[in-house]
Amino acid sequence: AIQLTQSPSSLSASVGDRVTITCRASQDLNNALAWYQQTPGRPPKLLIHAASTLEGGVPSRFSGSGSGTHFTLTISSLQPEDFTTYYCQQFYDFPLTFGGGTKVEIK
């Protein structure tokens, strides 16, 4: 199975900060990677698919980049509602796998 390693596993930041989360794959994914945001008690919300395509309705402060084995999710200016957990997921091969998650906390 393809392993996805997210880093950091948690980070502390302030409102307005620029934050970058990394997802590294154990093999080439081309661009078959999605990013999700999950708030406690809620299902994940799809933010980005195909590594860099923003879902409709997702604020433009979110962006994704990368290809191959190295991907990033960037939040350009953290807002209060962004302090939660983020996951990457690969769609390149079975089984579809998720990264371990990154928790963004208020500094």
Q: Which residues bind other proteins (CB under 8 A)?
A: 1, 32, 34, 36, 42-46, 48-50, 55, 87, 89, 91, 94-101
Kindly state the smallest distance separating residue 59's Cβ from other proteins, in Å. 17
**Nearer CB in complex with other proteins: 69/97:** 97
83: phi then psi, degrees, rounded to nearest 5: -80, 90
**Nearer CB in complex with other proteins: 83/98:** 98
Nearest to 49 by CA among 35, 37, 60: 35
**Nearer CB in complex with other proteins: 38/69:** 38
Nearest to 87 by CA among 76, 99, 97, 75: 99
**Nearer CB in complex with other proteins: 3/77:** 3
Nearest to 60 by CA among 71, 39, 42, 75: 75
Residue with the two structure tokens 């994914």: 29
Kindly state the smallest distance separating residue 74's Cβ from other proteins, in Å. 18
Kindly state the smallest distance separating residue 5's Cβ from other proteins, in Å. 12
Kindly state the smallest distance separating residue 11's Cβ from other proteins, in Å. 17
The torsion defined by the Cα of 50, 56, 58 and 64, in degrees rounded to 10, comes to 20
